[in-house]
Amino acid sequence: MPKRILLVEDEEIIVDLLEKKLVKEGYEVLVARDGKEALEKMQAMDPKPDLVLLDIIMPKMGGFEVMEEMKKNKTLQKIPVIVISNSGQPVELDKAKKLGAKDWLIKTEFDPQEVLEKVKKQIG
Amino acid sequence: MEEKSKKESFQSSPHIKEVFDFLPFGICILNQSGIITDANKTFLKVSEYQANEVLGRPFSMFFLNPKEIEKILHQIVETKSFLFRELILISKNKKEILTRTFFSLKSNTEGKVEGYIVGVEDITQLKELVGRLEEEIERKTLALEQKIKELEEAKEKEVILRIRERAKSRDIEVKVEELEKVKSALMNILEDIEEERKKTEEEKNKTLAIITNLNDGILMFDKEGKISLVNPQIEKFFQIKSEELIGKTISDLAQISQFKPIVELVGDELKQIFREEVEIREDLILEITTIPMMKIGEKIGTLMILHDITREKAIERMKSEFVSISAHQLRTPLSAIKWTLRMFLDGDLGELTKEQREYLEKTYQSNERMIRLVNDLLNVARIEEGRYIYKLVLADLIPICQSLIDLYKDEIEKNNLTLEFKTQDNLPKVKVDVEKISLAIQNLLENAIRYNLPGGQIEIELKKREKTIEFSIRDTGIGIPKDQQNRVFTKFFRAPNATKVDTEGSGLGLFITKNIIEAHGGKIWFESEEGKGTCFYFTLPAES
């Protein structure tokens, strides 16, 4: 059973590139284009994803709200989250950490290969 | 015989007898033997004898010392002279009468001595008078002398008194002068005090005006911890009248719901705090500071300053959101480009020709520069936001420097540079925001690489200097022109010789670095000579 990753990202090209990279590595990738869709998919998914790659600034519902909702849910709170964002202020990093995020990657500072390595480190 | 002698005596001139009797003093005519042959009435009166008891008797027998009379008579006969004597006549009633008696020879017409003429003058009264006069004079003299003495004494006393008075008055003058001085000094002091009082009053009014009009809320607690002063801002913050607060203790305030968060913060003992944030309501965030009020080492109360930071917090939040959104907006296309190019270059999107790869590599590097510029701009925005330094931890600068050196190893080799890193043993740690201090060192290292000359050197050194850690990075590069040196840390500044070497710099690196160092309580400076090289130094407070 391949490991399931929920990729929550509204930027089309990022989704395409990262999905390509992860699938190539043998992961099963599900995509949500905003936070709301992400939460719905997480709840519907069975089995639950092994990892969530989560953007912060998105339409409808942002990444922080997604994490807050996940934290409220006993099952969802167990899923590791890696934030992939274009922002990265210390306050945001702290907030994410408090909400249980495992890592925070600023997209301009990392490339898909490095993201893949972080994913591997997290779920193998 | 008596008759005969009478006739003999005064017969020559019967008138003479009358004259004799009339004389105020006694006259006696004596024969050569000293027997009285005649005596006038005055003598009889003085001697209190009758004529018959006198005539024919020795003159000397009527006197106290008869022998003396005889001697006198004998003497005048011998000397033929005239003589006065004071002699005491004994009267019939045995009274001693002082007389002045004069003796003269009585000669007849032929000049033959035939007896004596004796004049007896009763001088008792005169003597008495003289005695009285003398006594009087004596008395008067004594009295006068006494008076003189008294006067002299009085004068003396007066003189002494005057001297004393003069001395006294001099003393008094001196004293008065002293008093005048004291008075003038006191007046000066009083004036000073008055001035001080006025100043104090003015200061008090000023202070009161400041307290009243201050945008910060002020609560003053007295020695017993009771509120003694409330300014209008407090009333405005908590919508409460100052009368409701005066006299209350901090524990009393816990009963008022709005004050609860403050009471929780400072505790019943009103502990000293500095700019602690408290959210009173959604629309009121306060920054609380408590300061003990001291007077000669003794605590006389506590001053609580409540600074309204509601608006600041809102602006801070907005700024943060702005930076976040800006970062997102600017970075989103850059990350899309970066990722696409990277996947092309990594072969994830199919094979590339050599030429394609070269172009894409160059495009990727351009994009990286753009990313750095955006990062710099975001850093500047955050510096200007004012809360750039975020998390201070105790850190060792050696591994921070080492990891940065490792990061730039390839670039150093590519530029044919040599790098030396010198450190000391037991270097104290520093309290830093690691991410920021790394950025500061990275900027300095990048400059040392970028603006060095081919085959140049870089020397990084960390050493303890007094209570600081001093970092230095020396290069053998192009240097900074002297006339440009004062602008080095200015935002967007790039020296003309640097622009010629490398057109890419944003001119933000050193501005960011300086802000980072100074935000850590450190100092940054440099030494540079154009064409020879530059050495940048910074210090950070060492932790003991």
Cis, bond preceding B14 (omega within 30 deg of 0): no
Cis, bond preceding B24 (omega within 30 deg of 0): no
Cβ neighbours of A11 in B, within 8 Å: 332, 335-336
Residue-level pLDDT at B3: 47
Distances (CA, A) of B541 to B129, B397, B429, B434, B471: 129, 12, 9, 14, 11
Residue B431 C-alpha, separation from nearest chain A C-alpha, in angstroms: 17
Backbone dihedral region of B241: left (phi > 0), alpha (psi from -120 to 50 degrees) or beta?
beta
Q: How many residues does chain B have?
A: 544
Please say whether the beta carbons of B434 and B440 come within 8 A.
no
Residue B321 carries which DSSP code?
H
Q: In a 3-state reduction of DSSP, which class is residue B363?
A: helix
For residue B11, pLDDT beyond 70 = no
Residues 6 or more apart whose Cβ sits within 8 Å of residue B312: none
- How many CB contacts within 8 angstroms connect chain A with chain B? 73
Tokens for B20, please give them.
């004799």
Cβ neighbours of A57 in B, within 8 Å: 324-325, 328
Distances (CA, A) of B69 to B50, B59, B61, B443: 21, 8, 9, 163
Residue-level pLDDT at B386: 67
Angle (CA) B146 B149 B155, round 5° = 140
Residue-level pLDDT at A34: 93
Tokens for A85, please give them.
């964002």
A1-10, A44-53, B142-151, B519-528, range with the lowest pLDDT: B142-151
Task: List b or e across B430-450, with b for residues whose CB sees 16 or more CB atoms inside 10 angstroms.
Answer: bebbeebbbbbbbbbbbbbbb
How many other β-carbons are positioned within 10 Å of the β-carbon of residue B274? 10
In whole angstroms, what is the distance from residue A118 CA to residue B245 CA? 59
Tokens for B6, please give them.
């009478």
Please say whether the beta carbons of B211 and B219 come within 8 A.
no
| Overall average pLDDT of the B340-366 stretch | 92
Please say whether the beta carbons of A76 and A70 come within 8 A.
yes
Best-predicted range by mean pLDDT among A27-36, B109-118, B305-314? A27-36
Please say whether the beta carbons of A94 and A63 come within 8 A.
no
Confidence of residue B355 (pLDDT cuts 50, 70, 90): very high
In whole angstroms, what is the distance from residue B429 CA to residue B446 CA? 24
Q: Which residues are bridge partners to B90 per DSSP?
A: B96
Residue-level pLDDT at A81: 95
B322: nearest CA partner in chain A: A87
Please name the amino acid found at residue B25: F
CB–CB contact A92 B334 (8 Å): no
pLDDT tens, B25-36?
A: 888 989 888 899
Confidence of residue B387 (pLDDT cuts 50, 70, 90): low
pLDDT tens, B92-134?
A: 998 888 888 899 888 887 878 888 989 988 887 777 777 777 7
B203-207, B291-295, B355-359, B482-486, range with the lowest pLDDT: B203-207
B320: nearest CA partner in chain A: A89
pLDDT tens, B141-185?
A: 888 788 888 877 777 777 777 777 777 777 777 777 887 887 788
Mean of per-residue pLDDT scores for chain B:
86
Tokens for B316, please give them.
């801070």
For residue B303, pLDDT beyond 50 = yes
Please name the amino acid found at residue A97: K
Q: In a 3-state reduction of DSSP, which class is residue B277?
A: strand
The ipTM (two decimal places) reads 0.88
Tokens for B301, please give them.
């109360």
DSSP string, B149-176: HHHHHHHHHHHHHHHHHHHHHHHHHHHH
Tokens for B358, please give them.
């070269």
Query: Does residue A20 belong to the interface with chain B, where contact is any CB pair within 8 Å?
Result: yes
Residue-level pLDDT at B502: 75
Residue-level pLDDT at B454: 87
**Selected residues 410-439 of chain B with any CB under 8 Å from a CB in chain A:** 435
Please name the amino acid found at residue B408: Y
